Amino acid sequence: MQILVVDHPLVAHKLTALRDERTDSPTFRRLTEELVTLLAYEATRDVRTGPVTVQTPVAEAQGVKLTSPKPLVVPILRAGLGMLEGMTRLLPTAEVGFLGMVRNEETLMASTYAERLPEDLSGRQCYVLDPMLATGGTLAAAIQFLVERGADHITAICLLAAPEGVERIERELAELAVPCNLVIAGMDAHLNDKGYIVPGLGDAGDRLYGVAQ
């Protein structure tokens, strides 16, 4: 897996504000969107394009356009939904599919409770959105699922990752025959005994949408 930690002062500035426990929900949502747009710029460097010729008012120009099939953006509910707007701002023609996944806060095992994705993802480039890569269980399962459906190129965009989770994904997906990239705003120190990223930003879903029941 190729890992890119986006090193940019604006990313660092917005991430610091996002971490701050005093940041309220509306501001947290706005910062998440802004951060994702910045990360998406890097994450889409290898989005598939083909050559095209256009007529300017002056002459013909050679350019590029996104090719078919369209990229598929997959936010992992709930927290990944907060990243969707920031992503589609940069990739407005992308299709969107949804995966609802939740981590059991005691066992830290991820399970899927909703799925709305095309049946056949053959030849599709997929962008998975989830702000937190903690133990890596959620993201590893999501990537496996997309590859089983036929996706042939995966880029995960996360705000924060823990080294333990990244190692797990690299281990579990080592045999994957599909190129897999990870783009993050920051790599944090470690996980605490509850599986939270340290220093992290707390529970991303709760900070975006309020405490889940």
Ligand X SMILES: O=c1cc[nH]c(=O)[nH]1
Q: Which stretch binds Mg ion (CB under 5 A): 67-75, 153-161, 171-179, 205-213?
A: 205-213
b vs e for 118-140, b when ≥16 Cβ sit within 10 Å of the residue's Cβ?
Answer: eeebeebbbbbbbbbbbbbbbbb
Strands 125-129 and 72-77: parallel
57: Cβ contacts below 8 Å, ≥ 6 apart: none
List 137, 205, 207, 208, residue binding Mg ion (CB under 5 A): 205
Instruction: Determine, following the binding rule CB under 6 A, whether residue 76 of this chain makes contact with ligand X.
Output: no
Helix, strand, or coil (residue 35): helix
Structure tokens at 139: 């993201």
Whether 4 contacts 182, CB under 8 Å: yes
Compute the least distance from the CB of residue 93 to ligand PRP, in Å.
26
The contact set with ligand PRP (CB under 6 A) reads 76, 78-79, 101-103, 108, 110, 130-139, 165, 195, 203-205, 212
Using Cβ positions, the residue closest to ligand PRP within the complex turns out to be 205
Compute the least distance from the CB of residue 22 to ligand X, in Å.
18
- Is 132 annotated to bind a ligand? Reply is yes
CA distance 159 to 15: 8
Q: Which of residues 134-153 bind ligand X (CB under 6 A)?
A: 134
Q: For ligand X, how many residues bind (rule: CB under 6 A)?
A: 9
Instruction: Determine, following the binding rule CB under 6 A, whether residue 101 of this chain makes contact with ligand X.
Output: no
Pick between residue 124 and residue 207 the one whose CB is nearest to Mg ion.
207
CA distance 29 to 18: 9
Reported in sequence order, the residue ranges of the chain that DSSP labels E, i.e. its strands, are 2-5, 49-55, 60-66, 72-77, 95-96, 98-103, 110-116, 125-129, 132-133, 153-161, 180-187, 190-191, 197-198
Binding residues: 78, 103, 130-138, 197, 202-204
Which residues would be at the binding site for Mg ion (CB under 5 A)?
203, 205
Which residues would be at the binding site for ligand X (CB under 6 A)?
79, 132, 134, 196-197, 200, 203-205
Binding residues for 5-phospho-alpha-D-ribose 1-diphosphate: 78, 103, 130-138, 203
